[in-house]
Structure 1
């Protein structure tokens, strides 16, 4: 039989185990002003939250700064090219399976797509 005092001691341990399993740990640190400025700059440049940035650094991730020249318009163009390429691939596979075309005959259309990609690269 457990006493009330033993039950009170066991409760914080259960809470600690619960938070370790589900919530993780909270870490508080003090940083000098110059380090905090650098940290704030890194979170802004990487577009990561402070916790995400610290986790990424501790996990050994390579921290990459998004290219500021990548605009919504460029992403739209790349998406359109990707959609065209997917449609072309699907049609080519269906036609090839039906014996209607030789897949090698699609070279000119692929060259058009490569040209579009080169234009986008030039904008970066």
Structure 2
């Protein structure tokens, strides 16, 4: 299931500049979305754990980098798939943001780990607007 009532975005990337720029792009869209930032997969899990406890937890878009220290994107995806309940996973759409071109085998592996889309870094303001628009309008 894809997010249909997008309420928040979780940016997961160890590159603080990328996070800053992506947050600026999202803020400019003026969609009144909550924005959280995590520097690795463990921080993302911690943020999700807190947000899920809120009574108004709604659909969330996670923009996930794969290459990070401590807990990388692959480890996050494995944890997410093994530990989050289906009713929560149904509210979360994961998009991988990567600086390298992803081969077909890796793409297949990512799709099996709940990834909805794979996009190339860096995202421009226009590209982020398109990405957010896709998840707002589903």
Measured against the shorter chain, the TM-score band is under 0.3
Name the structure with the higher helix share: 1
- Larger relative contact order, structure 1 or 2 (CA cutoff 8 Å, min sep 6): 2
What TM-score, normalized to structure 1?
A: 0.19
Larger Rg: 1
